[in-house]
Amino acid sequence: MRPRPALSAALVCVLALGVLTACSADHDADGVEYAGDYGSHAPLAVVGYPSTSTLGITQQVVWRIADGEVGELAALGDDRQDEAATRKTAENWITAFRTGAAGRVTAEFYDEGSYRQTVVLYLHDTQQIKQLHVLPVSVDRGTAYRVSMAEPDPGEATAVAPWVPKTPGELGSKSAR
């Protein structure tokens, strides 16, 4: 008995639609979560040239700090680092920057992000400055961006490097290190 071409084509279409629907369900859920976060937080002003990935992770860092979500913030850390230090760093960042992260924030992206991108957060309402390092890491499906979170000492977490300007854009988004 030979398979009928119309039946075979229909079966292929149904299977393809099932695969695509399953893939888009994950994507849709991510989109809904992002839209909810985006709609419930102050907009992030941007200076410099972030990639979509470095901008996305930076927004999430600011949102998690503002919301006081230690576990969710720690999950954005580079998993090659010590888990306890990453969690303590997340706690430090929330304690120090939560009020400022809930208000107006400008993120300045320095240099390019293929290896590591330095991001400086300007928390306007509290006049605080926070420097981050966003880096690509290998994951099962390719590359994801994470944040270096190795500041378990509160003083280190709030320290500002001497090269960081007091206002966004002073160096033209080129680090002077």
Hey, what CATH topology would domain 43-177 get? Nuclear Transport Factor 2; Chain: A, (3.10.450)
Give the Å distances, CA to CA, from 134 to 8, 27, 51: 48, 23, 11
pLDDT tens per residue across span 9-66: 443 333 343 444 444 444 455 554 565 665 667 789 999 989 888 999 999 999 999 9
Summarize pLDDT for 69-121 with one digit per residue, the tens. 999 999 999 877 789 999 999 999 999 999 999 999 999 999 776 667 899 99
Q: At what angle do helices 52-67 and 5-39 cross, to 10 degrees?
A: 50
Domain spans, the chain: 1-40, 43-177
152-156, long-range: CB within 8 Å, 24+ apart, which pairs? 152/84, 152/85, 152/88, 152/89, 152/92, 153/92, 154/92, 154/95, 154/96
136 pLDDT band, cuts 50/70/90, is confident
pLDDT of residue 22: 45
Q: Give residues with Cβ within 8 angstroms of 176, minimum separation 6.
A: 163
